[in-house]
């Protein structure tokens, strides 16, 4: 008699490969034949994962069309199935997959839109956290820059993109074909911030030095290291903007 683990592994293999031979032998004769009964489960599994990708990548789906998206998503599910029981977590690698997806070779900006879709998905579902107010930041002045660490809001993602994915994303989700047609794809790189504050998910631009500074902050570097990554006279203005926009939750001394 097969063990529970052997049974579960045979069944899982049949869900992933369409090869039901091993699992089929374990299944009692029933109403539907074994292959067809397994296909009911396979369909729920695959369509559930594809639906999760649709929810996380709405702009990519609109840009590529439903049929194309489903085909790409099915291919992705086959090689990179979910590992988390929370499907909001599923699909972090989809942008990388699309960047290498042969049918999209002539549309390289799609992968950048996918990175933005994913950052928005993360921002939608990240933990709640109270933003640091400008007045509360005053206490950080007493800490030496090489000992000061700023804590970014858990929803914050900093993206360096080859294409203006934020403008594409806005036009696509607003179904504004005119704006989409008028977009210039060149002129990169583009530096985009995504975060959530009391007003909801925000998508904004930042300068190259601001991008370097915030990337270092998000990587857990000290204030001193982050500033050295992007020495710029604009830093005080950037900090004030970040505080007003709720991109930090606190600071600590190390």
Partner 1 sequence: MAARHAKRSPVPAHAGIGLRFPHQRLIAEQHPAAAWFEVHTENYFGGGTRLNYLERIREHYALSLHGTALSLGSAEGLDAAHLKRVAECAARLEPGLISEHLSFSRVDGIYYADLLPLPLTEEALNLVCRNVDAMQDALKRQVLVENPSTYLQFRHSTIPEWEFLSAVAARTGCGILCDVNNIYVSACNHRWDALAYLDGLPPDAVGEIHLAGHAKCVIGGVSVLIDNHGSRVAEPVWDLFDAALRRFGPKPALIEWDTDIPEFSVLQDEAARAERRLRAERALDRISGGGHADAA
**Binding region for partner 1 (CB under 8 A):** 1-5, 7-9, 11-12, 15-16, 25-28, 30-34, 36-38, 40-41, 44-45, 48-49, 52, 81-88, 124-129, 154, 196, 200
**Angle between helical axes of 109-125 and 34-56 (0-180°, round to 10):** 90
In the complex, minimum distance from the CB of residue 27 to partner 1, in angstroms, rounded to a whole number: 5
CA atoms of 125 and 142, how far apart (whole Å): 34
Nearer to partner 1, 168 or 196 (CB): 196
CA atoms of 46 and 37, how far apart (whole Å): 15
In the complex, minimum distance from the CB of residue 42 to partner 1, in angstroms, rounded to a whole number: 9
Nearer to partner 1, 44 or 208 (CB): 44
CA atoms of 242 and 245, how far apart (whole Å): 5
CA atoms of 38 and 52, how far apart (whole Å): 21
Nearer to partner 1, 85 or 236 (CB): 85
Cis status, amide bond into 189, omega within 30 of 0: yes
Which of 186, 172, 193, 188 lies closest to 115, judged by CA?
A: 193
In the complex, minimum distance from the CB of residue 82 to partner 1, in angstroms, rounded to a whole number: 4
DSSP letter for 4, please. H
In the complex, minimum distance from the CB of residue 5 to partner 1, in angstroms, rounded to a whole number: 4
Nearer to partner 1, 51 or 147 (CB): 51
Nearer to partner 1, 27 or 239 (CB): 27
In the complex, minimum distance from the CB of residue 66 to partner 1, in angstroms, rounded to a whole number: 17
């Amino acid at each position: 008699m097969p063990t529970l683990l052997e049974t579960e592994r045979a069944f899982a293999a049949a869900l992933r490969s369409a090869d039901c031979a091993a699992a089929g032998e374990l299944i009692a004769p029933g109403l539907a034949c074994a292959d067809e009964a397994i296909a009911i489960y396979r369909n729920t599994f695959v369509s559930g994962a594809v639906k999760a990708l649709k929810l996380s990548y709405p702009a990519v789906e609109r840009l590529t069309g439903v049929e194309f998206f489903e085909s790409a998503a099915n291919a992705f599910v086959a090689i990179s199935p979910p590992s988390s029981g929370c499907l909001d977590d599923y699909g972090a690698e989809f942008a990388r997959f699309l960047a290498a997806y042969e049918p999209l070779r002539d549309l390289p900006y799609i992968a950048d839109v996918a990175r933005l879709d994913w950052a928005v998905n993360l921002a939608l579902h990240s933990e709640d956290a109270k933003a640091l107010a400008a007045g509360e930041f005053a206490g950080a002045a007493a800490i030496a820059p090489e000992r000061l660490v700023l804590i970014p809001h858990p929803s914050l993602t900093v993206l360096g993109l080859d294409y203006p994915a934020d403008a594409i994303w806005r036009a696509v989700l607003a179904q504004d074909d005119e704006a989409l047609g008028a977009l210039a794809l060149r002129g990169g790189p583009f530096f985009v911030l995504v975060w959530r504050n009391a007003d909801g998910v925000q998508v904004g631009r930042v300068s190259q030095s601001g991008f370097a500074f915030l990337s270092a902050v998000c990587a857990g570097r000290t204030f001193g290291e982050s500033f050295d990554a992007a020495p710029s006279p604009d830093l005080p203005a950037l900090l004030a903007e970040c505080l007003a926009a709720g991109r930090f939750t606190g600071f600590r001394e190390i």
